[in-house]
Structure formats: C-alpha cells, structure tokens
Amino acid sequence: MTPSPVPYADVVCGVTHKLLGGPRGGLLLCTAALAERVDRAVSPFTQGGPAMDVVAAKALALLRAAGPEFTAYSQQALANAQVLATELERIGLRPLTGGTDTHLVTADARPLGLTGREVERRCEAAGLLLGRCAVPFDDAPPAAASGVRLGTACVTSQGMGTAQMEQLAGLIARVVEDGSAQRAREVAEEVRTLLERFPV
C-alpha cells in the first residue's frame, strides 16, 4: 500500500485560499489505494468543470508551499496565533483550548458578559474583522453565539509579527470594553495606520 500523504490520515481535505495563499478552492489528498474511489466520487458527480487558470494557480501555490519561504511563513503564522491567544486571554476572551497549535484562535466571550455576535459587531465597527462561532455548552441562540474565531494567515502574509499581534489584541480589548461609536472611530484610525505599514 502506498504511504499516506500525511502519516496519520488516509484522506486529507483543505482549502487553497487560506494557508496556501492560493486561489479560492479546495484540495483533497489521499493514498493511492483510495485514489480511484475518490476520483469517481468527485468527478463528474460533485465537481463542476475545472477552470484551468485556477488549476494552474493551485499548482503554483503548492509549489510555493514546498519551499523554505512557506515553512518560515507557517512558523510565523503559528507564533502569531500563539501570542494572539495569550493576549486575548489576558483581556478576558478565553481561548477554548488554553491556547492554539494552529493559525486559528477560538475564544469564549462569555467571561466578558458578551456574545460572540456583540464582539464581532464592535470589532467590525472599528475595522477589525473576526467571526462569531458556537462554543461548547453555548446557550446563546445561533445568530448570537458565544465565541469568536480569529486567524493569523492573512496578517502574517501582510508581514505582521508577534508585536503586531499584541497591538491587535490591545485594539480588540479597547472596543470590547467600550462599544461606543467614538471608541470605534478611534480604534479604526489606529487600524488604518497599522495597515499603511502592512498593506494587503
């Protein structure tokens, strides 16, 4: 039997536009033993016509991911997420797993007496984008949810490091503690200044 693409799974799914920084789309890796069954399941039943420019862009993203620059980027995205998780915990947004070992941080807003939706709304008004999500034992209605989810892939691609994660957590703290329009405008100005240093 052919070895798995990763040592702990026979099938691995992912998206190409998040961590790979490639085109919007997905990928599915599997062992050679499963390849024919997976191919039959995907095409023509669930996959539309392939856009060859997207296929080429995915190939380029995978080629780049095989290089040392991508390793450095991935390590920085992880370091950024770990610092962000620590700083969010300091301001009362408790990471669900006590931290993170990926580029994602999922935190519980209940210790602050807020819903994830309210944290999302306050941050969005200040130019900070994050998403609300459900957390274990969440009594909030789905539209509100009690958690927030943040990722460091994009900001790492922009060149931000751990110092900027501390700064971002501080900006989040300011709008979480004061949801006024005035505070949102003040923080939004600081977000604009930060983005001038680290453009998209």
pLDDT at 21 over 90: no
Q: Which CATH architecture has domain 69-197?
A: Alpha-Beta Complex (3.90)
How far is residue 54 CA from its own chain's centroid? 22
- Give domain limits for the chain: 11-66, 69-197
Residue whose token pair is 């080429």: 56
pLDDT at residue 39 in the model? 87
Enumerate the H helices of the chain as residue ranges: 32-42, 52-65, 68-90, 116-125, 153-157, 162-177, 181-197
pLDDT at residue 2 in the model? 56
SS3 call for 104: strand
User: 38-71: per-residue pLDDT in tens?
Assistant: 888 887 667 777 789 988 999 999 999 999 999 9
pLDDT at 3 over 70: no
pLDDT at residue 4 in the model? 57
pTM: 0.83
Percent of the chain with pLDDT over 70: 96
User: Please, are residues 145 and 115 in contact by the beta-carbon 8 Å criterion?
Assistant: yes
User: Please, are residues 139 and 197 in contact by the beta-carbon 8 Å criterion?
Assistant: no
Percent of the chain with pLDDT over 90: 66
Average pLDDT over residues 10-17: 87
Opening angle at CA 12, ends 7 and 16, nearest 5: 125
Q: Rounded to an integer, what distance in angstroms lies between the CA atom of residue 83 and that of residue 108?
A: 17
